[in-house]
């Protein structure tokens, strides 16, 4: 048997295996009346994934927090580039946008579902401060108009 024939057979077997699995699932749904909510698979995004992050280590969650705060800080800097002022809000915005541009469609949430800290900047649009409380070390990771770094205190 030639190599090309073997590849054709292997490809056909792989396809049959896939169809077999689909058939078994369909039969289980029909016979046992299982209900499948496809929206769980279709609408899966980073915010819906947060509820599954509880199994991560403390260091991994702190790393995620730092990454999230840096992402929010970058979006705020992009707003400043567009408008010569930062997005103002009393509390943590759900979206960061300016004019015709959306820089961050969904502001990330803490891996354990807590809210990140936001300092009301409605009185001073030339400043902002966002922070995450860290688990592994005492303190916060903050971003403001000057820097992003670990601090002992939250935004003040």
- Residue extents of the structural domains in the chain: 3-36, 53-151
Cβ-based burial of 71 (10 A; exposed 0-12, middle 13-18, buried ≥19): middle
Cβ-based burial of 89 (10 A; exposed 0-12, middle 13-18, buried ≥19): middle
- Does the pLDDT of residue 13 top 80, yes or no? no
25-80 pLDDT tens trace? 655 555 666 544 444 444 444 444 444 455 689 999 999 999 999 999 999 999 99
What predicted TM-score, i.e. pTM, was given to this entire model? 0.65
Percent of the chain whose pLDDT exceeds 70: 65
Domain range 53-151, CATH architecture: 2-Layer Sandwich (3.30)
37-46 pLDDT tens trace? 444 444 444 4
- CA 151 to chain centroid, in Å, comes to 23
Going by C-beta distance under 8 Å and a sequence separation of 6 or more, which residues neighbour residue 102? 95, 96
């Amino acid at each position: 048997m030639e190599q090309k024939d073997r590849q054709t057979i292997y490809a056909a077997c792989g396809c049959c295996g896939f169809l077999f699995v689909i058939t078994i699932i369909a039969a289980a749904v029909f016979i046992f009346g299982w209900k499948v909510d496809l929206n769980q698979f279709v609408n899966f995004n980073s915010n819906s994934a947060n509820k599954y992050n509880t199994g991560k280590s403390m260091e991994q969650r702190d790393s995620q927090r730092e990454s999230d705060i840096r992402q929010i800080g970058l979006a705020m800097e992009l707003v400043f580039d567009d408008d010569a002022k930062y997005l103002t809000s009393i509390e943590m915005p759900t979206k960061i946008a300016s004019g015709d541009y959306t820089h961050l469609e969904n502001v990330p949430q803490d891996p354990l579902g807590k809210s990140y800290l936001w300092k009301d900047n409605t009185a001073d649009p030339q400043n902002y401060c966002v922070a995450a409380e860290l688990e592994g070390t005492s303190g916060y990771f903050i971003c403001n108009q000057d820097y992003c770094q670990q601090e002992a205190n939250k935004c003040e």
